[in-house]
Amino acid sequence: AQSVSQHNHHVILSEAASLELGCNYSYGGTVNLFWYVQYPGQHLQLLLKYFSGDPLVKGIKGFEAEFIKSKFSFNLRKPSVQWSDTAEYFCAVTDSWGKLQFGAGTQVVVTP
Amino acid sequence: DGGITQSPKYLFRKEGQNVTLSCEQNLNHDAMYWYRQDPGQGLRLIYYSQIVNDFQKGDIAEGYSVSREKKESFPLTVTSAQKNPTAFYLCASRGTGDREQYFGPGTRLTVT
C-alpha cells in the first residue's frame, strides 16, 4: 500500500522567511501528486498538482513544488512567506485508481 | 454554480445514536469519496464509490456505512459501532478521467 510522509508536524517562522515542507511517498507506479492547504476555518484547497512533464510546478499564492522521482519526493516551497500563509498543509498522492493518500499534515504558523 | 455541498456544518449527537452526513454534488462526477480528518493524522479514506449503486471500503470503514442510489448523492452514516466518531468529515468527488478530487466544506461531528 502506498504511504505519504510529511517531515514536519509543526513549523513556526517569521514573515519574509523561506518555507520548505518535505513530502515523501512510497509507491512504485505512476503517481499523481498534490499539495492541499487548509486555512483556519476554511475548505481544503488545492495549492498545486503534478501529473507529468516539468517536475517543477507552480501553484497559487507563490507556492511551487519539485517532483524528484529518484527520491520519491514532492517538496513544497515558498521563497517569502506572509502572515496569511498560516495554515495546515497536506501532501497527497493518488495511484491509477484515483484513491488519495494523504500525509499527516504540517501546521505552519507565520509570525508577524 | 457547480460544487459539492455538505450539510450541516456542525452536528452534535449523543453516544449510541446513528447519524447520517449529507454530501451532494452537481458536477456530474461519477466518483465520490468520504474522508475523516483528525489532528495529526491527515485525511483518511472511509468509503468511496466509483459509480452509482457501487461502493468500496476505504482504510477505516469500520463503524460506517454508505449508499449511492443517485449519482449526485453519497450519504455517510456514522453508526453507534464507530468507537471514536468525533471528527471532521470531508466529502469529495472526481470526474471520469479527471485526476483531481474536489472537496466539500466538511461537517464537524461531535458525539458526547
Mean pLDDT of B91-101: 89
The H or E element that residue A64 is part of is strand A64-68
- Give the N- to C-terminal CA distance of chain A in Å, as an integer: 41
- Residue A53's φ and ψ, nearest 5 degrees, are 90, -145
Mean pLDDT rounded to a whole number for chain A: 92
| B97/A contact by beta carbon, under 8 A | no
| A104/B contact by beta carbon, under 8 A | yes
Percent of the residues in chain B that have a pLDDT greater than 70, as a whole number = 98
Over the range B74-111, which residues count as b (16 or more CB within 10 Å of their CB) and which as e? bbbebeeebeebebbbbbbbbeeeeeebbbbebbebeb
Digit-coded pLDDT (tens) for B28-72 = 999 999 999 998 888 999 999 999 999 999 999 999 999 999 999
Percent of the residues in chain A that have a pLDDT greater than 70, as a whole number = 97
* DSSP state string for chain B: ---EEEE-SEEEE-TT--EEEEEEE-S--SEEEEEEEETTTEEEEEEEEEETTEEEE-TT-TTEEE--SBTTB--EEE-TT-S---EEEEEEEE-TT----EE---EEEEE-
Query: How far is residue A87's CA from residue A110's CA, in Å, rounded to a whole number?
Result: 9
| Per-residue confidence (pLDDT) for residue B40, from 0 to 100 | 81
Start-end of H helices in chain A: none
Residues with Cβ within 8 Å of residue B84, at least 6 apart in sequence: none
CB contact under 8 A, A100 and B103: no
| A·B CB contacts under 8 A | 50
| Per-residue confidence (pLDDT) for residue B98, from 0 to 100 | 84
| Per-residue confidence (pLDDT) for residue A27, from 0 to 100 | 79
Digit-coded pLDDT (tens) for A4-52 = 999 889 999 999 999 999 999 997 778 899 999 999 888 889 999 999 9
| From B40, B90, B100, residue closest to A9, measured CB to CB | B40
* DSSP three-state, residue A3: strand
Question: Using 50, 70 and 90 to split pLDDT, how confident is the model at A98?
Answer: confident
Is the model's pLDDT at A84 over the cut of 70? yes
| B91/A contact by beta carbon, under 8 A | no
The H or E element that residue A73 is part of is strand A73-78
Listed by number, the residues of chain A in 83-102 with a beta carbon closer than 8 Å to a beta carbon of chain B are: 90, 92, 94, 98-102
Question: Using 50, 70 and 90 to split pLDDT, how confident is the model at A97?
Answer: low
Query: How far is residue B78's CA from residue A41's CA, in Å, rounded to a whole number?
Result: 23
Is the model's pLDDT at A96 over the cut of 70? no
| A59/B contact by beta carbon, under 8 A | no
Question: C-alpha grid cell for residue A23?
Answer: 513530502
- Residue A33's φ and ψ, nearest 5 degrees, are -120, 140
Contact yes or no for B89/B21 (Cβ under 8 A):
yes
Query: How far is residue A79's CA from residue A66's CA, in Å, rounded to a whole number?
Result: 14
| Per-residue confidence (pLDDT) for residue A1, from 0 to 100 | 66
